Amino acid sequence: MLNKINIAVLVGGGGTNLQALLDAADRGEIPSGNISLVISGKEGAYALERAKKHNVPTATADRKWYEKQEDFEEAILSSLKENNIRLIVLAGFMWILSADFIEKSGCKIINVHPALIPSFCGKGFYGLKVHEAALEYGVKVSGATVHFVNEIPDGGQIIMQKAVDVLDDDTPETLQKRIMEQAEWKLLPAATQKVCEELIKES
């Protein structure tokens, strides 16, 4: 029986969610998983520096480098295979992965979304756009969701959610920061551990 699941974190920018995972792993909060690889969708992303500081191997695959989506996805699949990855965590990865990729990877894939799905999710809802929409709508509660990834953007089964109050004087930026601190950075490590535990039981 496997005692640890190899995890790849796919990142796109600063890597604050990656940092939350690395810190949680350091605190012993992901005992069933091992962060074995960080793949950036953007060259020179600061997230790669965070990975290197923790001695985690890195790779970069920018969609703009490849003529076809299949070639881009093949590059990622190759890195996953080399590192025997069983779980992919999407943490700010800005490129959409196809249904074909999801099937070929043979991995469970999870994503963190900065709203309470099914609100403010799906195609076009990412980054600050999510928080702008929430404030425009006037919701009093928002939050974050970790869910499995399937072929529909933000359409996979929900694993965990955490609600965060929206304040009267919130801007998209202040709401984004509070949801990260109070929900995303707590949920993502907890959900990662939960899925790793399930994968070990299945193996």
Please provide residue 33's backbone torsions phi and psi, each rounded to the nearest 5 degrees.
-130, 160
- Cα 33 to Cα 81, 180, 182, 191, distances in angstroms: 17, 22, 23, 11
Catalytic residue among 54, 113, 131, 147: 113
Q: For the chain, state the CA radius of gyration.
A: 16
- Cα 147 to Cα 61, 128, 194, distances in angstroms: 23, 19, 12
Nearest alpha carbon to residue 10 among 99, 110, 81:
110
- Chain center to CA of 12: 10
In angstroms, the CA 203 to CA 196 distance is: 11
Other CB atoms within 10 Å distance of the CB of residue 4? 15
In angstroms, the CA 105 to CA 77 distance is: 6
Our answer to whether residue 113 is catalytic in this structure is yes
**Catalytically annotated residues:** 113
